[in-house]
Amino acid sequence: MPLENETVPAGVMTTQLDAALGWARKYSIFQYPFVTACCGMEFMSVAASHYDLDRFGAGFPRFSPRQADVLLVVGTVSHKIAPVLRRIYDQMAEPKWVVAFGVCTCTGGFYNNYSTVQGIDTIIPVDLYIPGCPPRPETVIQGLTMLQEKIQKTRGQFR
Amino acid sequence: MSDLRGERRDVPAASNHEELTKLRSAGYNVLVDLTCVDYLPQGRSPRFDVIYRLMRLDPATGDDLGRVELHCAVDEAPVLRSAKDIWPAADWLEREVWDMFGVKFADRPGIKRLLMYEEFVGHALRKDYPIAKRQPLIGPKSGDKADSPSFNILRPTVTGE
């Protein structure tokens, strides 16, 4: 945080608050699982007790976009459901993050055809890509910790 | 009649309903599948085969007592009659055949798509549908990345960050 802007003496205070907010946010992720395909099985396994996403504070799926922080897009997204996904993203309150879970959501995977969206980043902004078909639970956990680092660094005011 | 695939019969498209009714009364009580094949690369005329796969299922034992496969050669013209009065399961399968291949049924003039959205133009499983042609409802048609600078960027704050 630059301190050279002397017209804002409260700058230091804001920095500390952002750090505290980032710490609180990264360990209390409410995720919205947008599960459309077989990656959902892998999501269930990583969320269940063996790998236990709850250890990282992300154990609480909310099935309302208004209450969710992280949109987990899990599985192939077709052109038919793409407007629904966009609507859900738009309904989420800021700050919000999007995770593309699995190679289908990252790039379309091997579905290069008439029906499949070639990467959900053509519809909504994506913060984290987790590759794999499906990703191993360890990959998901690594991705989650990377997302937590990103959340910790997030600063600013939100709508 | 006891082998796995059963017997294949080619019937004229105009008499599909009569043949299916006969088979239904002969004990073929399950419509296993109703699908379509596009023979465009072979240059065949009529272009499509609409295929009915039927099975005789013994309701008491659950045994497969034999199968039969009906092939009806058709073009796009609505010649076939709907089989949904014989097997209600034919309803969605006929909608799928219309959706993916564009084969019409004579007594279903207002048939709706099953899988694709209403805005979709064309029929996706026809051999002359371009393999990578996409008709997205939102997002770019070419598959390029959307202009997406809006995600959780540092917004200007009072500190001038």
Q: What is the CA radius of gyration of chain A?
A: 17
The tokens of A136 are what? 């191993």
C-beta atoms surrounding A51 within 10 Å:
16
Q: Does residue A91 lie in a domain region?
A: yes
Encode burial over B2-38: b for 16+ CB neighbours within 10 A, e otherwise: eeeebeeeeeebeebbebbeebbeeebbebbebbbbb
What's the residue count for chain A? 159
Write down the pLDDT at residue A136. Answer: 92
State whether A79 and B150 contact (CB < 8 Å): no
Calculate ∠ Cα A127-A93-B139, nearest 5°.
Answer: 55
**Tokens 């006969």 appear where?**
B22
Q: How large is the angle between the packed helices A11-26 and A137-153, nearest 10 degrees?
A: 160
Q: Which residue of A has its CA nearest to B144?
A: A122
C-beta atoms surrounding A138 within 10 Å:
11
Q: Which residues of A touch B150 (CB under 8 A)?
A: 125
What's the total number of domains in chain A? 1
Q: Which residue of B has its CA nearest to A110?
A: B132
B157 vs A: CB within 8 A? yes
State whether B137 and A79 contact (CB < 8 Å): yes
For residue A108, the distance in angstroms to the closest alpha carbon of chain B comes to 10
Output the furthest CA–CA distance in chain B (Å, rounded).
83
State whether A1 and B159 contact (CB < 8 Å): yes
Q: Are A85 and A112 in contact (CB under 8 A)?
A: no
Strand-pairing partners, residue B51, are B35, B71
CATH number of the domain that B105 lies in?
Answer: 3.30.460.80
- The model's pTM is 0.79
pLDDT digits (tens, 9 = 90+) for A34-65: 999 899 999 999 988 898 888 888 888 888 99
- Position A158 confidence tier, pLDDT thresholds 50, 70, 90: low
State whether B145 and A121 contact (CB < 8 Å): yes
Write down the pLDDT at residue A10. Answer: 58
Q: Which residues of A touch B129 (CB under 8 A)?
A: 114
Q: Does residue A2 lie in a domain region?
A: no
Rounded Cα distance, B157 and B133, in Å: 44
User: Which of A29, A120, A122 is the best substitution to test chain B (most B C-beta atoms within 10 A)?
Assistant: A122
pLDDT digits (tens, 9 = 90+) for B30-77: 999 999 999 998 989 899 999 999 999 998 998 888 899 999 999 988
The tokens of A2 are what? 């630059």
pLDDT digits (tens, 9 = 90+) for B104-134: 999 988 899 999 988 888 898 998 888 777 8
Q: Which residue of B has its CA nearest to A126?
A: B151
For residue B110, the distance in angstroms to the closest alpha carbon of chain A comes to 21
Rounded Cα distance, A39 and A135, in Å: 8
Nearest alpha-carbon partner for A41 in A68, A74, A65, A73: A74
For residue B150, the distance in angstroms to the closest alpha carbon of chain A comes to 7
What's the total number of domains in chain B? 1
Mean pLDDT score of chain B, rounded to an integer? 82
User: Which of A3, A79, A116, A154 is the best substitution to test chain B (most B C-beta atoms within 10 A)?
Assistant: A79
CATH number of the domain that A47 lies in?
Answer: 3.40.50.12280
Q: What range does the domain containing B97 cover? A: 1-161
Mean pLDDT score of chain A, rounded to an integer? 85
Rounded Cα distance, A15 and A22, in Å: 10
DSSP string, chain B: --SSS-EEEEE-GGGHHHHHHHHHHTT--EEEEEEEEE-GGGT-SS-EEEEEEEEEE-TTT--EEEEEEEEEEE-SSS-SPP-TTT-TTHHHHHHHHHHHH----TT-TT---SSS-TT--S-TTSTTS-TT----SSS-SS-PPP--TTSS-----TT--
Q: What range does the domain containing A84 cover? A: 30-153
B127 vs A: CB within 8 A? no
Rounded Cα distance, A132 and A96, in Å: 23
Rounded Cα distance, B161 and B9, in Å: 76
